[in-house]
Amino acid sequence: MRKLTYFIACTIDGFIGDPKGDASSTFGYVTGEYLEYMKAEYPETIPAHGWPVVGIEPGTENRRFDAVIQGLNSYKVGLDVGITSPYSHLREFVATRSLTGSPDPNVELIADDLVGRVRELKAEDSPLDIWLCGGSTIAGELIDEIDELVIKTYPQVYGSGMPMFGADFEPREFELGAVRTFDNGVLVRTYTRKR
Quick check: 137 and 168 in contact, CB under 8 A? no
For 15-29, what is the mean pLDDT? Answer: 90
Task: Answer whether residue 191 is part of any domain.
Answer: no
Cα separation, 15 vs 164, whole angstroms? 6
**CA–CA distances in Å: residue 75 to residues 31, 64, 102:** 23, 20, 11
For 173-185, what is the mean pLDDT? Answer: 97
Task: Answer whether residue 70 is part of any domain.
Answer: yes
State pTM to two decimals.
Answer: 0.96
Predicted confidence (pLDDT) per residue in 34-79, tens digit: 999 999 999 999 999 999 999 999 889 999 999 999 999 899 989 9
CATH number at residue 169: 3.40.430.10
DSSP letters for 28-66: GGS-HHHHHHHHHH-GGGS-GGGHHHHTPPTTPPPSSEE
Task: Answer whether residue 76 is part of any domain.
Answer: yes
> Domain tally for the chain?
1
Task: Answer whether residue 136 is part of any domain.
Answer: yes
Cα separation, 46 vs 36, whole angstroms? 12
Range(s) of the domain holding residue 159: 4-185
**CA–CA distances in Å: residue 192 to residues 106, 172, 189:** 30, 11, 10
- At position 106, the amino acid (one-letter code) is N
Task: Answer whether residue 151 is part of any domain.
Answer: yes
Task: Answer whether residue 193 is part of any domain.
Answer: no
Predicted confidence at residue 195, as pLDDT, reads: 84
Cα separation, 193 vs 80, whole angstroms? 35
Task: Answer whether residue 107 is part of any domain.
Answer: yes
Quick check: 37 and 184 in contact, CB under 8 A? no
**Statement: residue 83 has pLDDT above 90:** yes
Cα separation, 45 vs 9, whole angstroms? 11
Task: Answer whether residue 192 is part of any domain.
Answer: no
